[in-house]
Structure formats: C-alpha cells, structure tokens
Amino acid sequence: MKTNSGNFNIGGVTFNWDLNKGKFSYEGRDAVLFWITTAMKTFFDTIEEISGEEASRLVFEASGFRQGVVVGDYFEKVKSVTPEEAIEMITNTYAAAGWGLVKIEELNPESKIVRIHLKDSWEYKINVEQGKKVGSNFLPAHYAGVFSGLFGTNMGFDVVQYQQSKHDYTIVEFYPSKVTIRDNVHQLARKKELDQILQLEALVEDKTRDLKKLVKKLSSPFIPVLDEVVVVPLIGEYNEERSEELLEKIITQLPHYQARFLILDLTGVESTEFTYMAALIREIGSSASIMGTETFLVGITPDLCKSLTKTDLTWDSFQCFHTLQHGIYYALGQLGKADPHIDIK
C-alpha cells in the first residue's frame, strides 16, 4: 500500500515519514538518509582532499567523539537505566539505523573498560570504496564519546584490528584517559605551527645560502682594466672568512691575467674595524709580489689613513694614491704607455 506518511517500528525503534512536509524522523527527531558508498563517501573524500590525511583523521575523530558524547549524555541523564542497559539500547538503535552490527565483548562499569566488535559498519563500507587497507576512526571515536557520556569521564580508545585488514570485524578497546580531543586538536595545531616554522627556517637558510653566494660573487670583483693591470675594489668590512676568500681569489686569478700591477681600491672599505683588513692587505701584497705582481693602494680616505697608521704594520712597500685614476696612470707610466700630457703628481 502506497502512503505519504506513517510510523514504523523496527526493533523497538520508531521511524516516521511525512512526504507532504518532506520530513523524516528517527526516534522522534529530525533525521536524514544518505547513500553510504556514494554521497557519504564523497563527503569523506572531500574532507580528506581539503584537510589532508593527518588533519582529516583528527576531524573525523573529533566530530565522531563529540556526537557520541551527546548520545551518551542523553541515555545517562534522561533515561533511568544502567550502563549495560543503555549500551544495549544504543547498539540496537544504531543497528536499526544502518550503522552496522555492534557486539559488546567486555564491559566493566567499575573500571570503565569496554571492548567491542564492529562489523559491516557504514564507515567500513566507505573505507572499502575508498580502497583503504586501514580504516578511519569516526566510529571508534564516536563510541568513545558515547561511553564518556555514560560513564561521566573522558574515554580513550585503541583499535586492535580493522575489518579492512582481512578480519571478520573491527575490534576497539575503550578506557579512561586524560588525553582529550581538545588536547589532540591543540597538539596538531602546534605540530602544524612547528612544521611551518621549520619550512620557513629551511627557506631562510636556502635564501641566505643563495645570498652569500651572490655576495661572494659580487663583492671584491676582479676587473682587468688594461693589459697587465687589474683592479680589485674592496667593499665593506672584512672578517676572517671574507679575507681568506678574497686572498684565494686573487692568488688564483693573477696568473690568468698575467698581471704586472694589482690595484687595490680601498674607497669602499669601512675604517671602523680594520683588524682583518690590514693583515689582508699585507698578505695580498706579499703573495702578489712572490708571483711577480706589484700592488698599489688607491682610494685612501683620511679616516682610513688614520686606521692604517694605528696598526703595527709598515706600508713603505706599497705605492699609494688618492684616487683610482692616479693609480692607473702610474701603472701605465711603468708600462711605458702613460699620456705625456697628464700630470699624476
């Protein structure tokens, strides 16, 4: 007989349809029906796609647990039944609603230890459609919430085996736990923050390494201005690392250019800290001299001159000029190429 409305009692659970109002109720409360392996699977797939595996796992656990707490609180506070009776009513109600078969293998109200078997649940069917070999934890967390409400204490859970892993059923054990869903959410948030910090640190490290390479490439360039004359401008402050790099660069490049004259341009040198610079200039001059190259110093400012004279080193072996132009003209003169009309004195 075709009808647009009616009440139906299945296993002591009441269902009601009213097609005229587009309404379906389950145990007197508004409910909705979904196809498991299509609509609900799409719902699960979308959450996992957007949230990622780790976050979606926690989403399912947290939502399942909190829904379970609502159910447990209802049976604990509204109906005057023992935990054993309440659990039996809950499992029958869930079976009638298509949640799968639930069997209580162990129940100890005093120690609050519970062990259940889940067989052919809607979550299992979704996971099979997804091709998962290990199940998700919406239902285990949901029943943890149910027992938390019934016992009035926070319950944790361990999945001993999943039906997906070629077992006849899923086994879940429940026990009192100090770790709450909120703790897990905060832990995941902290882990994500830490992951982001580590990613940023790695990015900064990569950029810093690239920047160092660039600075190393651009600082103190080797400039062959004329045949047998090269200029190396010294820029900024020099520490031990930069000094060693520059010295190695000059020693390896001088033979390549067959330079007779090396002009060190000190115009861009910071005079506030001259410890490494003074020793570096002396070492460059000595190394260049051994290789047959004479070193000139140009661009010496008054402040830099003061810093040079305060060191314990002597500078008599260097030709010094105020500007780079004068240094180049002097080198040209030594090579017999100087312009007779230019006075470099």
Contact 319, 298 (CB under 8 A): no
- Can you say whether residue 299 is alpha, beta or left, with left for phi > 0 and alpha for psi between -120 and 50 degrees? left
Tell me which CATH code domain 218-334 carries: 3.30.750.24
Q: Strand 113-119's sheet: what is its strand order?
A: 101-108, 113-119, 170-176, 155-161
- How far apart, in whole angstroms, are the C-alpha atoms of residue 125 and residue 197? 39
Contacts of 97 by beta carbon, 8 Å cutoff, 6+ apart: 13, 26
What the block records as the tokens of 15 is 């269902």
Q: What is the pLDDT of residue 308?
A: 74
SS3 124: helix
Q: What is the pLDDT of residue 109?
A: 87
Mean pLDDT across 250-258:
87
Taking every pair of C-alpha atoms in the chain, what is the biggest distance, in angstroms? 122
Q: What is the pLDDT of residue 103?
A: 92
Q: 340 pLDDT band (50/70/90 cuts)?
A: very low
Question: Is there a common fold for 34-187 and 218-334?
Answer: no
Contacts of 270 by beta carbon, 8 Å cutoff, 6+ apart: 236, 237
**What's at 152, amino acid-wise?**
G
- Mean pLDDT check: name the lowest of 147-151, 221-225, 339-343: 339-343
Q: 139 pLDDT band (50/70/90 cuts)?
A: very high
Residue 4 has pLDDT above 80, yes or no: no
Rounded to 5°, the CA angle 268-271-274 comes to: 110
- Say how many C-beta atoms besides its own lie within 10 A of residue 218's C-beta: 9
- Cα 233 to its chain centre, rounded Å, is 41
Tell me which CATH code domain 34-187 carries: 3.30.1380.20
Domain boundaries, the chain: 1-33, 34-187, 218-334
β-sheet bridge partners, residue 104: 116
Q: What is the pLDDT of residues 103-123, one digit of tens each?
A: 999 999 889 999 999 999 999
Dihedral angle at the C-alpha atoms of 250, 256, 262, 265, nearest 10 degrees? -60
- How far apart, in whole angstroms, are the C-alpha atoms of residue 36 and residue 138? 14
Mean pLDDT value across the chain: 82
SS3 235: strand
Q: What is the pLDDT of residues 59-81, one digit of tens each?
A: 888 888 988 888 888 776 665 67
Q: What is the pLDDT of residues 170-207, one digit of tens each?
A: 999 999 998 887 776 666 556 665 666 667 667 777 77
